[in-house]
């Protein structure tokens, strides 16, 4: 039996609904397996701007730093979209990633047999897909300086900079190779080396790191081609490693191989402290507060926490198996519901997954 401190940052919109669901599941695991989870809540994003005047209050960061792992919902919404850069909810998320050194964002994309008809793609294309996007999370286009508005010769301009230090590329690429070694032993490094100098350096460093992993195959792919290949023949991929913004875009695209963005979990691993777990999706203002959101991305993120931060593999398996089981039984939130299926609410989905974990004889 273990005792763990979990910082919970629900954020905005459906972030609240899906983290509530993930906590329910963690509490079920606590009961079923006799662990102790202490949840401590913090404000982030729009909720923090409204209550504290800043998207990442110091006390939130303190709670996270003292935790064993962080569970985050999502941030953002139309209410804050016209705010200046430093008062945007998204700024809070970028800050926490930087402050906690969360450099490696792992976004697994797995095909579920029972969801074949939820994806707009053909069964032959998506069958057996099991890939992992390793997205660099604390550098690249999101963080390079200069960034902002400037006026030159009376002309207004905006600038963002794609900048990487050598070490930043080394550590993310090394992480990708280490992960590939435990999987199908293939790394696809995605870049834009035909245009960008940062990508040419990325390629050089990737080649160097590959020398230490002779058992892993490395291929390079230009990002525009990668976007196409993900839809044409996604089974070719094992581990994809890429720059911050490329990874952001490709992972939303890849989510449709599973049927919905609401299915995709993620882990943001820290170079120095606790890691953070969050669904890939955002705050979904279009369905927020309606008890409609798919909680599975958040629940699978919690499973990643159990496995990667706490070393609780059996417990993580129990959550993942329960998710598979309810999907196989035909339970669907609206985003994955096909014709003829009654869509269940967020709460119904959570309750069913919970019941399966509690009932499952195979789990012990
Ligand atoms: P989004 O991911 O919030 O939503 C995109 C579409 O997917 C919407 O139609 C939404 O209803 C649907 N969707 C997303 N998650 C779902 C779920 N769990 N169940 C069912 N449907 C789901 O992206 P967006 O609409 O472009 O952005 C909305 C806000 O969220 C913006 O403010 C953006 O900055 C923010 N955002 C935050 C994060 C994060 O916190 N990690 C990620 C992406 C976007
Ligand atoms: C994500 C989101 C964030 C990102 C935004 C909200 C800053 O889209 O986590 O994928 O672009 O990283
Ligand atoms: Mn995104």
Question: 142 and 286 in one domain?
Answer: no
167-170: Cβ within 8 A, 24+ apart: 168/103, 168/136, 168/138, 168/139, 169/136, 169/201, 169/202, 169/205, 169/206, 170/205, 170/208, 170/209
Domain that holds residue 349: 1-103+270-364
pTM of the entire structure? 0.98
Average predicted confidence (pLDDT) for the chain = 97
The pLDDT value recorded for residue 341 is: 76
For residue 269, what are its two tokens? Answer: 């691993």
ipTM above 0.90, yes or no: yes
Last residue of a domain, one of 262, 293, 310: 262
**Measured on CA atoms in the order 233, 235, 241, 245, is the torsion positive or negative?**
positive
Comparing CA positions, the residue from 33, 90, 37, 32 lying closest to residue 305 is 37
Work out which ligand 2 atom sits closest to the CA atom of 97. Answer: 12
What digits encode the pLDDT tens for the residues 150-199? 999 999 999 999 999 999 999 999 999 999 999 999 999 999 999 999 99
What digits encode the pLDDT tens for the residues 343-354? 999 999 999 999
Last residue of a domain, one of 262, 295, 313: 262
Is residue 362 predicted with pLDDT exceeding 70? Answer: no
Give, for 206, the enclosing helix (H) or strand (E): helix 197-210
- Domain CATH for 239: 3.40.718.10
The pLDDT value recorded for residue 340 is: 75
**Contact between 171 and 160 (Cβ < 8 Å):** no
Residue 329: C-alpha distances to residues 95, 104, 114, 203, 272 (Å): 41, 34, 8, 45, 41
What digits encode the pLDDT tens for the residues 233-289? 999 999 999 999 999 999 999 999 999 999 999 999 998 999 999 999 999 999 999
Question: 257 and 111 in one domain?
Answer: yes
Question: 332 and 283 in one domain?
Answer: yes
Question: 247 and 150 in one domain?
Answer: yes
Counting the structural domains of the chain, the total is 2
Q: How far is the CA of 52 from the centre of ligand 2 (A)?
A: 22
Question: 91 and 125 in one domain?
Answer: no
Work out which ligand 2 atom sits closest to the CA atom of 278. Answer: 9
The pLDDT value recorded for residue 296 is: 98
User: Catalytic residue numbers?
Assistant: 142, 192, 224, 248, 252
What digits encode the pLDDT tens for the residues 190-208? 999 999 999 999 999 999 9
């Amino acid at each position: 039996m273990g005792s763990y401190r979990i910082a919970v940052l629900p954020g905005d919109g459906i972030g609240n609904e899906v983290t509530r669901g993930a906590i329910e599941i963690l509490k079920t695991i606590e009961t079923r397996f006799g662990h102790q989870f202490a949840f401590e809540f913090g404000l982030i994003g729009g909720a923090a701007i409204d209550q504290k005047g800043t998207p990442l209050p110091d006390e939130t960061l303190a709670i996270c730093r003292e935790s064993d792992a962080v569970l985050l919902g999502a941030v953002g919404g139309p209410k804050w979209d016209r705010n200046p850069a430093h008062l945007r909810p998204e700024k809070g998320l970028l800050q926490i990633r930087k402050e906690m050194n969360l450099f490696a964002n792992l976004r697994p994309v797995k095909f579920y047999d029972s969801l074949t008809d939820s994806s707009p793609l053909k069964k032959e294309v998506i069958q057996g897909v099991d890939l992992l996007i390793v997205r660099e999370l604390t550098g690249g286009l999101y963080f390079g300086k200069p960034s902002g508005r400037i006026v030159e010769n009376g002309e207004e301009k905006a600038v963002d900079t794609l900048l990487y230090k050598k070490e930043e590329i080394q550590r993310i690429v090394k992480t990708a190779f280490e992960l590939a070694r435990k999987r199908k032993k293939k790394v696809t490094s995605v870049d834009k080396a035909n245009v960008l100098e940062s990508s040419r350096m990325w390629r050089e460093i990737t080649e160097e790191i590959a020398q230490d992993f002779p058992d892993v195959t490395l291929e390079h792919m230009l990002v525009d081609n990668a976007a196409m290949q993900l839809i044409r023949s996604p089974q070719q991929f094992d581990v994809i490693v890429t720059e911050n913004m490329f990874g952001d875009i490709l992972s939303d695209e890849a989510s449709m191989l599973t049927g919905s963005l609401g299915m995709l979990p993620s882990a943001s691993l820290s170079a120095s402290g606790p890691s953070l777990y969050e669904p890939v999706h955002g705050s979904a203002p279009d369905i927020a507060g309606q008890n409609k959101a798919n909680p599975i991305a958040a629940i699978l993120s919690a499973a990643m926490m159990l496995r990667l931060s706490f070393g609780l593999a059996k417990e993580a398996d129990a959550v993942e198996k329960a998710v598979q089981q309810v999907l196989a039984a035909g339970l669907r939130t609206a985003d994955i519901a096909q014709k003829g299926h009654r869509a269940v609410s967020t709460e119904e989905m959570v309750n069913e997954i919970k019941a399966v974990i509690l009932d499952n004889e195979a789990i012990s």
